[in-house]
Amino acid sequence: MKTAIHVVGSGVVGSAFGLVLDGLGHDVRFVDTSSERRAILRSQGQVVSESLQLQDEQEAVVFLTLPTPSTKDGYDLRWLEQGTRSVGASIRATNAKVIVANRSTVYPGACDTLIRPWLEESSGKSAGVDFEVASVPEFLRQASALEDAARPWITVIGSSSDHARAKLADLLRPLGGCLRVFDNATTAETIKIANNCYNAAKISFWNELWTICDHLGLMSDDVAESVAISAEGSFNPTYGIRGGFPFGGACLPKDLDGLIAFSESVGLDVPLLQAVRAVNDEISRRSFALEDQAQATSLAAS
């Protein structure tokens, strides 16, 4: 039995991802509310419609690739809700075995607390019994969307359903790259958002260092590229990523204090470096408090 792949939301992500699956020989059908998007995909020979139809299917995977633009209050999930509820209405009208896999970027926990209830309400059916839900976040870059979709460096799948995890892994493994599969959607959602925040923090760090290099009349690229080769975080991917422990030792606190003091002495603001120190101070305070608590408990017990 051939599983139909439906892509709901056929913009940058949906069209790139769907075209890649189509190229691998899958039965891909696009859905988009925009007539312009539908016309573009139709002109490329794709099957595309305004709404999802599942009545004739026995088995289907529905990917949600809907807009989730951010506002200063967080993500605007209106399009995601509307699109998800329309998928739920299609699930109501079919006996097909359906996996709904969200690729839109969302808050950690959105699959379990929003997408799943939206689908249950609109379908009148139960997740985990009548259909399954998963998170498969997208990591492609807009400027190279098709190339990245065809050769993802990482694919992350999260679902509490064994069947959904296995099915999605079989579908996406042929694309290559690192495949990481988790037994819950929230881990996958958190990986996506943390990935972008990590990239953002890295860029802001080097912009802050650029202001210091600029002050010193140095080429910041010489500094950044050398550090990117030499710092342990570059050649040891697990360095510094275990949460809950502050950094210490002879060099890290000393050199951080040194660079902050130097920057301040020449009138440069270094809020990110100060934040690095503040986070470490807070984690140290909490670790010591926990140690004191453990010591007090063991003294009381002896």
- 34 near ligand NAD, judged by CB under 6 A: yes
- By CB under 6 A, which span of 55-63, 76-84, 225-233, 284-292 interacts with ligand NAD? 76-84
Residues 6 or more apart whose CB falls under 8 angstroms from that of 254 comprise none
- 155 near ligand NAD, judged by CB under 6 A: no
- 9 near ligand NAD, judged by CB under 6 A: yes
The answer to whether 41 and 48 are in contact (CB under 8 A) is yes
CB of 138 to ligand NAD, least distance (A): 4
Contact with ligand NAD (CB under 6 A) among 3, 90, 105, 186: 105
- Say how far residue 110 (Cα) sits from the centre of its chain: 12
- 83 near ligand NAD, judged by CB under 6 A: yes
Maximum alpha-carbon separation in the chain = 78
Contact with ligand NAD (CB under 6 A) among 3, 20, 28, 37: 37
Strand partners, 181: 157
Cα angle at 132 between 81 and 70, to 5 degrees?
A: 30
In angstroms, the CA 110 to CA 106 distance is 6
- By CB under 6 A, which span of 93-101, 138-146, 224-232, 277-285 interacts with ligand NAD? 138-146
Contact with ligand NAD (CB under 6 A) among 4, 7, 8, 110: 8
The two three-digit tokens of residue 184, written as one number:
């819950």
CA atoms in the 13 A half-sphere facing the CB of 33: 10
Rama region for 136: left / alpha / beta (φ>0; ψ in -120 to 50; rest) = beta
Q: Which residue is nearest to ligand NAD (CB)?
A: 11
Contact with ligand NAD (CB under 6 A) among 4, 7, 12, 110: 12
Say how many residues touch ligand NAD, by CB under 6 A: 26
Residues near ligand NAD (CB under 6 A) are 8-14, 31-34, 37, 65-68, 79, 82-83, 86, 104-105, 138, 140-142
